[in-house]
Amino acid sequence: MFRKVPLSLFARYSRFRLHGAQQARNITESAHHYNEQLRLTERYLEFDVPALRNAVAASCNRSSSDIVSFFKLSEGGFNRVFQATLSDGKNVIARIPYPSTGPEHYTVASEVATLDYLRLHGITTPKRSRFFIGPIAHYSWWDEQRAALETDRGPSKTHAKPRLPYERLYREIHGFCEVSPDSHIKNLSDYLILSRCLGFKTGSSLDRPVIRHPDFQPNNILVSESNEIVGFIDWQHSTILPLGIAAGIPKHFQNYGDPVSEKLIELQFDLPPNYDTLDRSEQISVRETIRKRLVHFLYAAFTKRLNEEHYDAIFDQSVMLHQRLFKSANTPWEGDSITLRAEMIRAIQSWRNLIAEDSREYDKRTCAIPPLEYPDIIIHDTLRIDAQQKEADTDGTNATCCEGKAREMKAKMLEAAVTHSDVTGVQSHFPFDDFHEDS
């Protein structure tokens, strides 16, 4: 039946490349597995390539005829990066944001301020001018129609409306019905009550404000031919937060969910005895597992050696509880009213590990015991649904896979469907089909 099909069956999509002038304007590789045309449209930008070359040359007081090569270097989550090489061997980097990268004014101003601050502390960044401090610039609060709202960049009762969960693997859990925002509005009100007791020990390393790159991954790290790091890009969505909120292994390097990685077991690089008899796809899977474990372990090991305060914060129980609460409360509502409530329940259950009696917010009169309490039935139902949502593993559906295999899988799921509800679930909510993202 539909609900029993394991997510491990979702295979990988193939990749493609574009060439010539069109390649400069388009995404280099397909990284999207549904609504592909929408993602391409968001990233496609018509621009004058000769004019960009002229601008690059002018920035160095040179003529465009001095540019001997010009090509697309890489793509991050928000920008397309070009490299121009001049006749004297000097390389110049030019960056063009995608049309979907916004808000345009605040994004640029935020990055200018961030780069100035980083440069003062010896971190290699591109040179900019002007400085600006303003509202939160994270794209999740400006995406699509949100940019037109004349409101604070936070949850708003007046704009919330019932919708299906954005994560389609959650939809069957909720009976393929629209979810009302009312329960999440109540969750946010509860969080505001709980937040009065949150925080870290005043003056401690966890309480110290820090700035971290918001998307630390290879596309945003510029490396020279001699393997020296020469710059970091895409700082526009960075924020200054306490170390206890900012700490963590970057998403690109972490391998949570793997028991070896989570226990930080030192790696053994021996391949399995039957490695040579495995087919090519299985050999690739074995090597990829080793690579992910190695990257996770090395990040933790080098952090312990070079930045012990950060290492201690990463594995601090109170930090983990604070971070999960902060992330769940700080995420725009897209039909998930369970995760935040589940995290608040866990926080209450681990209250003594969560609170710091000498934090700025702590008040013995109101924080000695949790200021919130949920009925047993709410606790049971919330944690049960939260476990189902976690089991759905929406990240697992983001692996690249072959389109043909996805179609084949959908056909087999339809054949196995018994009830009308099963058929509707496959036809209308298959994870690799295009769908209306605001429904």
- Tell me the pLDDT tens digit for each residue of 229-256: 888 877 877 888 999 999 999 999 999 9
Exposure of 161 by Cβ count < 10 A (0-12 exposed, 13-18 middle, 19+ buried)? exposed
Q: 0.85 exceeded by the pTM?
A: no
Residue 427 lies in a domain: no
Q: Give pLDDT, residue 14.
A: 25
pLDDT at residue 355, rounded to an integer: 87
- The rounded distance, in Å, linking the Cα atoms of 171 and 392 is 10
Is 274 within a domain?
yes
C-alpha span between 166 and 144 (Å, rounded): 15
Q: Which of 113, 135, 157 is the last residue of a domain?
A: 135
Low-confidence ranges of the chain (pLDDT < 50): 1-32, 128-133, 153-156, 396-401
Looking at 76, 109, 135, the residue that finishes a domain is: 135
CA angle at residue 215 from 159 to 253, to 5 degrees?
125
Residue 72, domain member (yes or no): yes
Q: How many domains does one find in the chain?
A: 2
- The per-residue DSSP string of 296-347 comes to HHHHHHHHHHH-HHHHHHHT-HHHHHHHHHHHHHHSPPSS--SHHHHHHHHH
Q: What is the tens place of the pLDDT at every residue in 352-410?
A: 989 887 776 667 778 889 999 999 999 999 999 999 888 876 554 444 445 566 667 76
- Residue 266: inside a domain: yes
In this prediction, residue 25 carries a pLDDT of 46
Burial class (CB in 10 A: 0-12, 13-18, 19+), 22: exposed
pLDDT the model gives residue 17: 29
Helix and strand totals (H; E) in the chain: 16, 7
Identify the CA nearest to 42 among candidates 159, 111, 142.
142
Q: Which two structure tokens, joined as six digits, stand for 162?
A: 């019932």
372 within a domain of the structure (yes/no):
no
Among residues 105, 135, 165, the one where a domain terminates is 135
List phi, psi (to 5°) of 378.
-65, -45
Check residue 327 and give its pLDDT.
93
Q: Please check whether residue 128 lies inside any domain of the structure.
A: yes
Beta strands in 52-170 (DSSP E): 67-75, 79-86, 91-97
Q: Is the peptide bond before 103 cis (omega within 30 degrees of 0)?
A: yes
Q: Supply the range of the domain harboring residue 282.
A: 248-314
Task: Identify whether 105 is part of a domain.
Answer: yes
Q: Identify whether 42 is part of a domain.
A: yes
